[in-house]
Structure 1
């Protein structure tokens, strides 16, 4: 099978030059992973990764002779970043796992693509392609990719014991790529249920990164619901519940909101979420603010005025989901109106008659009246 000739990365001048350089030196150069998987599924890909039987030293030597810059970004694991023009390309030597402990692997370089494929996680990720678009399918994963089935390579339990993060990757890939008609692979779920204790070995940063990617999928609700049923979600976020995620996604679609992992984290709930997922300060502040505003009586227009349209719409969607109420589209219009409103009174309008705390109190009183009027009262009316 050949990929369509119009696949963008098959026409990327830098990538083709890199492949040609390695092949001219007698080495294999195969596109691998996400770019190939996505091409098979007809999905755009952002990253271009290349696998080769050349060792890192050989890659460096060949690229230097061709005038390409190399950066040893992960040389201990066989990965170099090759910069051609201003574009970076990751090149990784075929590898074979020697030992694994659930978090780290000791790898040996290999000259066989089959060995490299066997150490990957899912069959849909063990696809390679030559520079002319010819698919290389060492493990027979193409049917799974075409059918959008997320299946562990060989024994699911063995793959999980090699790296417990694969439990979360299973749900993330299911959310992004699986056809819901097929459901979730029973062998994978059984293996996951047997290895829940391994999740404790994962760092908060790794868990947070995977959860953020998972919740950024168009509709992660089915995957998160299964995570809860098999016991993964409560291990990650004590007290979190999946029940309101699907209603939130419905509300998002009604408001034409893009997927937002932080908004979705708020609807899941749970204890110490920012710490357990090691959220950035900005994301932690956002989830805290949204969580606080959902339970207030602040109306849509005032939300838009005080916090901006994006935050107001987030709160409107969250309230509809958490309170299980129909979405009022008029709220979106009110939030939009509020976000554009400008309070017509300034401090100097009340001076010198008022100053200090009295001035602040009067401004607050007038602003409250103005908001209650639907932003209609004019400066003259407020000061009259």
Structure 2
């Protein structure tokens, strides 16, 4: 009998016992499900905890309110209530079975049959349920064996499962990158390739979410290669090709050498051609936030020649400078040492100080201040005393020019 490790920290979060009691766990009405069970068995960190229950959503809401647990009806129409605990939210979803699907959304009916609920999930390793009291695993489709073998399989026929929800194509490659490092399921891969055009029916936000989750996986290169070879992204991101995958692979090596955590947006920048305008267009197409789009643009903008790492960081921010330095294959990683523990400073002088030195108020003040700033940056951000000397020189130059 397979059981969850009893010492798993996430099983003992503050408020979890009260939540499980409210859901009648002693009567078998609630079980942990999905990612927490899967990663718990692998000994991986667990962030999100999901609970499946036979209790219908409105009753779940009533039970949590009666127990004094904050409850948010985040997806009540689809059977999901979110319980807000001290260490984070827990999603509670009533057992469901599909009545109809169209590839984007499903019409569901509630059930009390655990196997029926498992049958509507995507992969065998995601259809594992754990008794919160004993940790005993309920495995209806061989998920534990697949997890042990690092094998990724759809539940049932892959084409049928993809037809139910087109996003499963992208999920397949994300989970393949993270868990499926054994022999590729050719039937599943072929089904994804055959259905690639159906990704066009999905919202760009859902596509972006899955793609960024894939890119941040420790080793996504094999999955990305399969996606490019199979034309998976061609309908929605035709800009992505094998050259982009090679750039991602090189970036991952540089991130590791620099001891830095992989960043999804930085890797997306590597995946795209080195063109900031195109990157902005892709960001807009994927409905990324303005901040995310700006990061892509900054990462791919051509850098001025002879710009020092600190000058770059002052101009575009630390995050942008690190992205740029990591993406530049011809740039030594030692340049990153100059940014470690460094915060871009503020110019220690303002326009008033220039006026006090005899520069008449007006447009020349802004121009002179910009000249002071350029010299300050070029000299690697010297102290206020040196800035004062620079200001004296610049003001004198402007005064002579007015004579």
* Structure 1 and Structure 2 fold alike (TM over 0.5): yes
Residue in structure 2 matching 1:250, options 227, 249, 253: 253
In the superposition, relative to structure 1, how do residues 24 and 345 fare at CA in structure 2: closer, same or farther (>3 Å)?
Answer: closer
Counterpart Cα distance in 2 of 1:36 and 1:159: 22
Whole-angstrom distance in 2 between the partners of 1:56 and 1:149:
34
Matching residue of 1:222: 222
C-alpha contact 1:302 1:338 (8 A) present in aligned 2: no
Deviation of residue 102 (structure 1)? 0.6
> 1:34 Cα deviation (Å)?
0.8
Q: Secondary structure at the match of 1:243?
A: helix
Partner residue, 1:176 = 178
Q: Does 1:102 align with 2:103?
A: yes
Whole-angstrom CA distance in 1 between matches of 2:65 and 2:333: 60
Alignment partner of 1:265 is 2:273: no
1:145 equivalent in structure 2: 147
Q: 1:342, CA displacement in angstroms?
A: 5.5
Post-superposition offset of 1:85: 7.3
1:187 maps to 187
Between the aligned partners of 1:93 and 1:67, the Cα distance in structure 2 is: 20
Counterpart contact for 2:98–2:109, Cα < 8 Å: yes
Aligned mates of 1:28, 1:346 — CA distance in 2: 67
Residue 365 of structure 2: which of 359, 370, 376 is its match?
A: 359
1:225-255 Cα distance to aligned partner (Å, 9 max, x none): 2221111223222212322111111122222
Would the alpha carbon gap of residues 343 and 190 (structure 1) be closer, same or farther in structure 2, given more than 3 Å must change?
A: same
Taking only aligned residues, the RMSD between alpha carbons, in angstroms, comes to 2.7
Which residue of structure 1 lines up, in the alignment, with residue 129 of structure 2?
A: 128
**What residue is the counterpart of 1:161 in the other structure?**
163
Q: After TM superposition, give the deviation of residue 340 of structure 1 in Å.
A: 4.5
1:91 match: 92
1:2-151 matched pairs, under 5 angstroms: 2-12=3-13, 14-23=15-24, 26-60=27-61, 62-63=63-64, 66=67, 68=69, 70-83=71-84, 88-131=89-132, 132-151=134-153
* 8 A contact 2:71–2:81 mirrored in 1: yes
Given that residues 345 and 379 in structure 1 are in contact (C-alpha distance below 8 angstroms), is that contact kept between their aligned partners in structure 2? yes
Offset at residue 178 of structure 1 (A): 3.3
Shift of 1:59: 3.4
Structure 1 position 304 matched with structure 2 position 310: no
Aligned length: 376
SS in 1 for 2:173: helix
Matching residue of 2:374: 368
Q: What is the TM-score when the length of structure 1 is the normalising length?
A: 0.87
Deviation (angstroms), 1:97:
1.1
Which sections of structure 1, spanning at least 5 residues, go unmatched?
none
CA distance in 1, matches of 2:220, 2:69: 41
Tell whether 2:210 aligns with 1:207.
no
Does residue 1:198 correspond to 2:202, yes or no? Answer: no
Instruction: Give the C-alpha shift of residue 376 in structure 1.
Output: 5.5
Distance 1:168 1:175 in 2: 11
SS of the aligned residue for 2:246 comes to: coil
Distance 1:310 1:275, change over 3 A: closer
Where structure 2 has 5 or more consecutive residues not aligned to the other structure, the ranges are 394-403
More deviation in 188-197 or 333-342?
A: 333-342
1:3 Cα deviation (Å)? 1.4
Kindly indicate whether the alpha-carbon contact (under 8 Å) linking 2:205 and 2:286 is maintained by their aligned counterparts in 1.
yes
Larger deviation, residues 230-239 vs 91-100 = 230-239
Q: Distance in 2 between matches of 1:341 and 1:91?
A: 47
Moved more, 345-354 or 189-198: 345-354
CA distance in 1, matches of 2:342, 2:87: 44
Secondary structure of 1:301's counterpart equals: helix
Deviation of 1:299 (Å): 3.2
Change (3 A) 1:148 1:260: same
Secondary structure of 2:218's partner?
A: coil
Is the CA contact (8 Å cut-off) linking 1:213 and 1:261 kept in structure 2?
yes
